[in-house]
Amino acid sequence: MNANQSDVVVGISSGTRVLIVDSQAIVREGLSVLLALEDDLSVIGHAPSAEECMANAHRLDPDLIITELEPRGAAALEDLRRTFPSAIVLVLSVMATEEAIRLALAAGAHGYVLKESGRIELLHGIRAVIGGTRFLCERAAARVVRSYLGDSVAGTVTQISTPITRSERDILSMVARGLSNKHIARLRQRSVRTIEKQRAMLMRKLGLRNAAELTRFALKHGLVQAEAATGDNSHAPIV
């Protein structure tokens, strides 16, 4: 397809410049309408494929690319990363397999959101990657966590031998679900410094060294399920 026949639509930008890449027009147009409601986001264009974006790169200067996982897989993502090296890439896909998620991340994607996700989760993901944090939506995070920990560990629930308070239990659960200290502080209406101190004290109390061990502990003791590693309307940043 030549430039005169291009399906790329380019708009005027203000705020974070967003480029949408999806083979389905209804998805491109629907996302454009949804993101237009956000004052800090501006859709500068949308296209049906990475190839169309590459052919019209001179007309585009995105800060963020929201793209489906094309049949070409990693090749399409790598093309986008090469063409727009300074842009952040967030995959929005129907594919929920661990293989697809890992492929996207390995190809340079900064985050992965499933198309079944709601508006709030998508916006969490957008703002997380813009802020420099890698992001997996709830179900994608659950896939990766379950693979990392193994079904045998996730399926074994035991009692907690060291007494912990309700507050400590809540913080442990939120850390295991992937919430950042900043997000936990906002939910609990506390300062980030307070949450950091409480988290450090909890880890010392339980003899745990990092977030991975906290997650493993929470799964083992039934504080969070591997199939739903993040809670409703929450997000899972990967630090």
CATH number, domain 150-225: 3.40.50.2300
In the chain, CATH 3.40.50.2300 sits at 3-136, 150-225
In whole numbers, what is the pLDDT of the chain averaged over residues?
80
CA distance 104 to 100: 6
- Arithmetic mean of pLDDT, 220-230: 55
Please indicate whether residue 93 or residue 160 has the higher confidence score (pLDDT): 93
Structure token digits, residue 93: 């896909």
CA distance 66 to 72: 16
pLDDT of residue 210: 74
pLDDT of residue 204: 86
- Arithmetic mean of pLDDT, 18-22: 95
Q: Which amino acid is at 64?
A: L
CA distance 1 to 102: 32
205 to 113, 155, 166: CA distances (angstroms): 35, 24, 14
For residues 49, 51, 56, 57, the Cα torsion angle rounded to the nearest 10 degrees is 100
CATH superfamily of 3-136: Response regulator (3.40.50.2300)
Q: Where are the alpha helices (DSSP H) in 12-73?
A: 25-36, 50-55
Given a cut of 60, whether residue 30 has pLDDT beyond it is yes
pLDDT of residue 152: 41
Given a cut of 60, whether residue 230 has pLDDT beyond it is no
